[in-house]
């Protein structure tokens, strides 16, 4: 199964047969006062800086969120998207629960974007899926519905099936739906990480779709979160995870994902690993001058 995101002539393919795709998470004003204030003031330079930094670090797609309380989100998201597109040339993921904001961003986007996200709740599906069809976008489908978050991998498969069936009824094919089985914090439930890993494997096996996680949720409330996050990503990739919304500027995350691609046969002649190593060594030399 291949999910193709595009921007003009550029295409990023998400698939088990392709290198892992990192969706950069840093253009998000939640709990980031400086970024939120700059967006409210109409200054998009910090968002552009975050965009360039993430792409330089290896992000192939950027998540863009403009959810500042009290702001005109449709106008703000459109403005951020325009600014980011001036700074980088990678596909974008629009992160909003506001359908007007999504429509405003999708209307100006030159390609196939990714919508983050819909759940399997009736209201959400009937809001987001028609937008995905209208603008030819792909969508992240989160495995929760009116009953809440399913407790077992089998139940998460059931919700994923519901999402895909409803998407198809709106003319959105399975290749344009990326399923998110939900990474929950293990500090609240020590079994949560294992259930999600089992769900990734089961959904990928039964439905042959691409899988996404907001992987850093797993370590919420714990010390040394980066260690937990990178270990979880490696385990998830081995189960079938093909993309994640995460921070590409964290060296531990980027090198772990490159190593996963290498060891799973997705790095021909080890060229991406060697190139990244040389880049790190060059940066060390320059920093020592």
Provide long-range contacts, Cβ within 8 A and 24+ apart, for 275-282.
276/58, 280/251, 280/255
Q: What three-state secondary structure class fits 87?
A: helix
Q: Where are the domains of the chain?
A: 3-288
As its CATH architecture, domain 3-288 has: Alpha-Beta Barrel (3.20)
**What is the C-alpha to C-alpha distance for residues 36 and 42, in angstroms, rounded to an integer?**
10
Q: What is the pLDDT along the chain (289 residues), one digit of tens a residue?
A: 999 999 999 999 999 999 999 999 999 998 889 999 999 999 999 999 999 999 999 999 999 999 999 999 999 999 999 999 999 999 999 999 999 999 999 999 999 999 999 999 999 999 999 999 999 999 999 999 999 999 999 999 999 999 999 999 999 999 999 999 999 999 999 999 999 999 999 999 999 999 999 888 899 999 999 999 999 999 999 999 999 999 999 999 999 999 999 999 999 999 999 999 999 999 899 888 8
CB atoms within 10 A of CB 98: 14
């Amino acid at each position: 199964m291949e999910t193709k995101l595009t921007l003009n002539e550029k295409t990023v393919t998400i698939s088990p047969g392709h290198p892992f795709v990192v969706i950069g998470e840093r253009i998000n004003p939640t709990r980031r006062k400086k970024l939120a204030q700059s967006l409210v003031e109409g200054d998009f330079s910090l968002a552009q800086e975050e965009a360039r930094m993430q792409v330089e670090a290896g992000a192939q797609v950027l998540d863009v969120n403009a959810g500042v309380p009290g702001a005109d989100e449709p106008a703000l998201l459109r403005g951020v998207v325009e600014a980011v597109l001036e700074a980088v040339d990678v596909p974008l993921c629009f992160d909003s629960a506001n359908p007007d904001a999504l429509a405003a961003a999708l209307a100006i986007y030159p390609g196939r974007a990714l919508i983050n996200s819909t759940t399997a709740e009736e209201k959400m599906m009937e809001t987001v899926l028609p937008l995905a069809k209208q603008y030819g976008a792909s969508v992240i489908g989160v495995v929760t519905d009116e009953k809440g978050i399913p407790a077992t991998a089998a139940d998460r498969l059931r919700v994923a099936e519901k999402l895909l069936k409803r998407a198809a009824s709106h003319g959105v094919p399975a290749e344009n739906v990326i399923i998110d089985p939900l990474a929950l914090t293990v500090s609240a439930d020590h079994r949560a990480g294992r259930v999600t890993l089992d769900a990734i494997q089961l959904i990928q096996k039964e439905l042959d779709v691409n899988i996404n996680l907001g992987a850093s949720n797993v370590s919420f409330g714990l010390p040394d979160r980066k260690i937990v996050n990178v270990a979880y990503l490696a385990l998830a990739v081995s189960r079938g995870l093909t993309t994640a919304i995460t921070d590409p500027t964290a060296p531990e995350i980027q090198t772990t994902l490159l190593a996963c691609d290498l060891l799973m046969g997705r790095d021909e002649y080890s060229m991406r690993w060697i190139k990244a190593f040389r880049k790190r060594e060059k940066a060390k030399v320059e920093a020592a001058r």
